[in-house]
Structures are given as C-alpha cells and as structure tokens.
Amino acid sequence: MPENAESSTVGVESRELPARITIPPIRGEMVHLRPATVADLDRMDVIDAYPGASGITGKDRVAERAAVHAWVRRSVAWANGETSKESGVGDPESRRTVAWSIITESDHDGNGEIDAASSDNVIGMIFLIDIDGWARSARIQVILGQDFRGRGYSRDIMPRVMTYGFAPEPAGLGMHRIWVAVPEQNTRSVSVYQSLGFVPSGRSRDALWNASQNRYQDLIVMDTLVDEFDPIRSLDAFGMHVIEDNPGVKEALSAREHSIAIQINAQEEARAKADEQAGKKPGMTREEAYEHIGVKPGHVDAAEARVGERADEADSGKSVNGDADAENNWPYGSPERKTSKEAWWRTLGRGRKRDREGK
C-alpha cells in the first residue's frame, strides 16, 4: 500500500457492504414480504413459478429455477453473517442478494379460499440481486407463480422494495442505482418499470433466445437513480398508499417535507424579485405596482409568474411554477429539479444526468 493511501481514505464513505444484514419485513396493501427461506424454494415449485421464463426473464425454466435457488441461499447466508463463499453459491465479486417471499393471506380471486394455501401463502419472490457496495448498484427481480401474474402484485411491492433499496443506511441499503434487464417482448414489465421511473439505458442485441418463437430477442436494460426515484408518486401511479412504518419511508417523507419547504422558500424569494422588477414600493399593493407597468387587474398572477421566472432564471435557475414546485417532492435528491407540464410518469426518470432514449 502506498504511504499516503491510508490517509487519502480518511473521511471517505465506506463502500463495503455490511458483513451481516437484517432483512426487514415489508407490508403492501395486497400482499406482504418476509425474508425468503430455503424451505420456500419447494413452495416456488408448488405455485409453478418458472413456466414461460424465456419470455419473462430470458432464461429457460431450468436456469431460472437454479438462479432463484442461488439467490435465496445467498440471501440467507448474508442474513446469517456468512461470507459469500460460505453460502455454497458465492459470487466471485462479493456481491450480495436480498430475497423476500411474497405472501398473501387473502382471497383475491373470490373463490372462498386463501389464494395460496397449498404453498403456505407464498405466491412468489422479489429480489435485490447483484448488490454492489462499491458502485452502490443493485438489480431488482420479481418472480410470481403462474396463477398470480397480471394481478397487480408487482405494482404493490416494487416501489416499497425500491424505497428500502435507495434509503440511506441504516434505514435501507443506500443504493445509488437500481436496474432491471427485460426481454424486449415483455412489454408488460417494461410498462410497469417505466411507471416506476426506470428509463432505457442500453440494449443488448440478440442477447436472448426465445424458445417459444424460435428466434433471438434483444435484452433491454433499464435503470433509475436515487435522485430520480420518488416512492410517493410511484405508489400514487398504481393507486397504492404509503405505509409509513415500512423501511425507508420515514426518511423519504422527511426528505419530501424538506424539499417542499425549500420550494416554498424559493417561490417566496421569486415573488419578491418579481415585485422588485415590477417596481413595487412600500405602501403599494401588488395590483398597483403591476398596473404601473401596464398589467391590468386580474392578470397580476400571470405577469408575476413571467417576471419571476425571468428574474429567477437569471439568478439561480430555480423554477417558481407555483403549485407544480410545491409538489416536486423528489425524496432523496436535489429539491431544485425543474418540473414539467407533462404527466409526471413521463418525466420521473428524466434527470439532469440523462439525455437518452426513452424520453
């Protein structure tokens, strides 16, 4: 080690993953999550979780099943404080995995019975895999039993798992990036991921073999960054509610309140600048000041917005678009991000670091 190597790392945030992790339970509205166990692997067979894998994840049934077995064992090993190598299915890059079983205790199909009684209420699993402490990156993957697909369970649980993944330690994993890899034909998943704020960041041509169609297909890589993901709005997109005692949610709500306060302050500062630009003097009403520069009563708000935007842009670039700014509650990132008149789910993944396909 160079002489100054140790001193150069003083004060630098550690990028080492913890040797042991406590995997938190997570509640949804339709289902809830608990840490996956090795015993749950047999239950995945009961619910027939692997058919059609080549069209959903790009793997064949055997490979998909083997991957799930490896992911669960790696997750259990990490929860037990074992090294990646000790799990029996270690990763040479020392990446980690967190696995949850998706549990239902309801009769969602209305047949008078709990939907998954034969599998101890397990209807699938959700994973954060390839967790890379150095890059602060993880991949998310959902696998559901054949009879439980297309019912909205993924929309219930994915934003909640991502909130945990992005939340700063110790509330969450402190990830910077979460990504997915989707076969091009899996348009349903692409739509769900886009609604969560994922944007296409790359395409691997002919990377997968589609056995059912006897042809190659592309693999689409999509991702979202910590300052692009809004868990509150992601749940709103699917008609889901915030559950405040879930991991990472309190941090998101606190950051949201801080962001809104900053936006309100920016709006008040911009209004003062607009009044100054309009020549408002002590004792004058705003209507009198704006009438002085030719603005008719009833048009003051619109004129103020235009003047304020010009003054604001000249100074700091902050948006002062009234209510739109108050709702721009990016939970972990910059509160100064500009909003758009477009629907939020079209712009959620479009951060200042992006200028790519998928806009």
Q: Which strands, in side-by-side order, build the sheet including 96-103?
A: 26-27, 32-35, 96-103, 122-132, 137-144, 177-183, 215-225, 199-210
pLDDT tens digit string along 297-326?
655 565 555 555 554 444 444 433 334 333
* Nearest-angstrom CA–CA distance, 294 and 306: 14
Highest mean pLDDT among 54-58, 164-168, 284-288: 164-168
How are beta strands 137-144 and 177-183 bridged, if at all?
A: parallel
The answer, yes or no, to whether residue 26 has pLDDT greater than 50, is yes
Go through 55-82 and write b for each residue having 16 or more CB atoms within 10 A of its CB, e for each that does not.
bbbbbeeeebbebbebbbbbbbbbbeeb
Q: What is the pLDDT of residue 136?
A: 95
Q: What average pLDDT score do residues 62-76 get?
A: 93
* Other residues' Cβ atoms within 10 Å of the Cβ of residue 51: 12
Q: What is the pLDDT of residue 279?
A: 67
3-class SS at 315? helix
Q: Which residue type does 59 have?
A: K
- Phi/psi at 33 (nearest 5 deg)? -115, 140
Q: What is the pLDDT of residue 5?
A: 42
Highest mean pLDDT among 176-180, 191-195, 230-234, 263-267: 176-180
Could you give the percent of the chain with pLDDT greater than 70?
69
* Nearest-angstrom CA–CA distance, 219 and 23: 30
pLDDT tens digit string along 241-261?
999 999 999 988 887 776 677
Could you give the percent of the chain with pLDDT greater than 90?
39
Q: What average pLDDT score do residues 346-356 get?
A: 38
Preceding peptide of 170 cis, ω within 30° = yes
Q: What average pLDDT score do residues 119-132 get?
A: 95
pLDDT tens digit string along 138-155?
999 999 999 898 888 999
The answer, yes or no, to whether residue 76 has pLDDT greater than 80, is yes
Closest CA to 141 of 200, 189, 76, 89: 189
Indicate the CATH number of 14-174+233-241 among 2.60.120, 3.40.30, 3.40.630, 3.30.420: 3.40.630
Q: In the numeric block, which tokens belong to residue 36?
A: 């996956």
The answer, yes or no, to whether residue 285 has pLDDT greater than 80, is no
Task: Mention every residue, 6+ apart, whose C-beta is less than 8 A from residue 63.
Answer: 53
Mean pLDDT of the chain: 77
Q: How far is CA 344 from CA 141, 164, 178, 189, 225, in A?
A: 24, 22, 19, 19, 16
Listed by start position, the domains of the chain span 14-174+233-241, 253-347
Which 8-state DSSP code applies to residue 137?
E
Q: In the numeric block, which tokens belong to residue 54?
A: 């080549």
* Nearest-angstrom CA–CA distance, 15 and 50: 35
Which 8-state DSSP code applies to residue 130?
E
Rama region for 182: left / alpha / beta (φ>0; ψ in -120 to 50; rest): beta
Q: What is the pLDDT of residue 57?
A: 67
| Cβ atoms of 226 and 177 closer than 8 Å | yes
